[in-house]
Structure 1
């Protein structure tokens, strides 16, 4: 969808009384349309669909629906987390007849998606994240997410085998629980290879700020890190900068190997195609959609990028063996005895927190071996 077309849709919503009247009618029949084994599904992205990151991962998931008979996919990219996203959702419902909408960015949920849930009670909305609460939010809303920490642990396994300096680097946006879990998982994966390995983290303070991402990557390489990974919206700048400096890279969100074919080791990717197909199958069958959906590697919600040419045989063997254990279920990255990098005990001997442990959702520490601070 071009910017020109998106603008015309927004203008139509803003200026056409007929469009508003049509909205009252269209909101009444999405479910009957779904029961007829056809549906229009809307996807909204905060950035470009080809960002080699967060938005591309969702767009690839949406693309997997386009070959399904009876399913129409409508998309809009570069939609800010403002009232603009409400206009986009209204457009998809009123003009395109969407009966299921996926606003994929964190800031779309409250108040924007919730406002649309109230306005269009017959339309289903599912938000990427874990914000939906049965006690607080409407039943035509919901959330979905993936446990990707184990993917970062596998990144760490490969990084641990590859590093010569025993210093890894992590470019992160903000010290929120999911980001901290990814940092800790990466370091713990590397320490399963060599317990003396360290990982320095630099927080940029923003989900997408290319200048700071490049500066952070260069600073990490300058300080001896020879394998870099990240948790920002688009890893493109980090991957290209690190590879340009001669460092190896592990990816995140999507497959960035085309950006650095010789330096890309592997990556932790979302597999949203699996999730979106599950929702659409329920929609066209007339089955109530789940309000809270989570899964990890074993569930197919997360996948790993193919191992790159620089990955040696010992790394491949440990990677494959660890992945096989994870696929059995119950694998715990965070387990005791384990301390934070400030010396506090975060897991006692025999204590383990599997990926779905509620305690991980309030993580506020960096583990021993991570150089950096959450403050």
Structure 2
């Protein structure tokens, strides 16, 4: 694409073969039944920039694997990649291009909840499939057409995880802080519902605006209530500022936040002392599965980093496989709606377990399959949400130490 910046060119360099046709006018391939067009809409820049390049790279690599195996139902996957900039406004423009110019049938890998909701506002009316790694409860409410598939735990579930962690640690005075967006607010709603359900009250709650250089007044307001712990719905940029300013007060408090803040980057930004004892709730990858082993090998070779560094890339890995197997199951002339109907069928339990596209393609000839994902087992519920297991990690001496599964 002609507008790729230097970062995007680096990320997509090895995906040139997939993108080679992306500049052709839509009519040049609109009637081509040998293609299934996918939009990869990922946060190459913005708050999700730590994860986005790996997410987009993974979509491209898995699509290449599917194509090398003869395609899905004989259809080659053609990927059109865009940077959502972790911005709903930028995402809306990118989606408009993907839908109206590139004529995609599915959009994969939206990260933040605001971006996912902005995407669904266009994909739902157009009858297109969307797959996301977002948590906001509103995504389920807006999934009226059954076209959106969530590979992330809901933020309500994250909130329940925070409640269990707080309960386990014996904290009694708890405050909450959240970024004023669908993701941040819904994390706190999930926690507060559980906390108040056992007869307790949040001692203070603050909703703050993004992109501010300081949150000192909000931090002082929270810490003036002398909480034992502060539950946060945050992204890395705002969490870094808040923890730095909280540490500077010298007031002891434990901070709890979602794992997507990113423990390594938080430590890198603030150092060991300011991050000591920070607690994070995040999804547990599907450890021990052949799918995760294959993803880890693919990701580390391509990105020079361990696969465990990018949970959201594992979800993108699963997205392409689920979609490709749904296309395979639906057949070569299937409509987008018919492909969508097969997504739950190829991923729910009860069939022959498969870990790769090749295994699934062969097993479909004999009957029902169940794709074992790298991120989870992908057993989607009635509103398209994968049910993920959660775990607790604590930053100790600059390292995120896994403490065990959190039952919700």
TM-score of the alignment, normalized to the shorter chain, above 0.5:
yes
TM-score, normalising length from structure 2?
Answer: 0.52
Distance 1:228 1:62, change over 3 A: farther
TM-score, normalising length from structure 1?
Answer: 0.56
Runs of at least 5 residues in structure 1 that lack an aligned partner in the other structure:
7-18, 311-315, 332-375
Aligned to 1:349: none
Per residue, is there more helix in 1 or in 2?
2
Quick one: distance in 1 between partners of 2:92 and 2:27? 16
Quick one: distance in 2 between partners of 1:69 and 1:44? 15
**Could you list the per-position Cα deviations for residues 94-118 of structure 1 after superposition, in whole angstroms to 9, with x for gaps in the alignment?**
8878653134454556776554666
Aligned to 1:282: 322
Aligned to 1:68: 62
**What is the aligned counterpart of 1:266 among 261, 275, 279?**
279
| 8 Å CA contact 2:42, 2:111 repeated in 1 | yes
**2:248 is the alignment partner of 1:250:** no
Aligned to 1:168: 174
User: How many residues are matched?
Assistant: 279
**What is the aligned counterpart of 1:240 among 226, 244, 262?**
244
Quick one: distance in 2 between partners of 1:86 and 1:309? 40
Q: Please give the residue correspondences for 1:1-375 in structure 2 after superposition, counting only pairs within 5 Å.
A: 3=5, 22-29=25-32, 32-34=34-36, 40-45=38-43, 48-49=45-46, 51=47, 56=50, 61-62=55-56, 64-65=58-59, 67-68=61-62, 70=64, 74-78=81-85, 80-82=87-89, 84-92=90-98, 100-102=106-108, 103-107=110-114, 113-115=120-122, 124-126=129-131, 128=134, 129-130=139-140, 131-134=142-145, 141-144=147-150, 146-159=153-166, 166-174=172-180, 178-184=186-192, 187=195, 199-204=203-208, 206=209, 208-210=210-212, 213-234=215-236, 235-245=239-249, 246-258=252-264, 259-260=266-267, 261=272, 262-269=275-282, 271-285=311-325, 286=327, 287=329, 288-289=339-340, 290=343, 292-298=383-389, 303-304=390-391, 306-309=393-396, 320=404, 323=406, 326=407, 331=408
Quick one: distance in 2 between partners of 1:112 and 1:148? 18
SS class of match (2:107): strand
- Alpha-carbon shift at residue 23 of structure 1 (Å): 1.9
Quick one: distance in 2 between partners of 1:3 and 1:60? 16
Runs of at least 5 residues in structure 2 that lack an aligned partner in the other structure:
9-21, 66-78, 284-310, 330-338, 345-382
Quick one: distance in 2 between partners of 1:159 and 1:227? 8
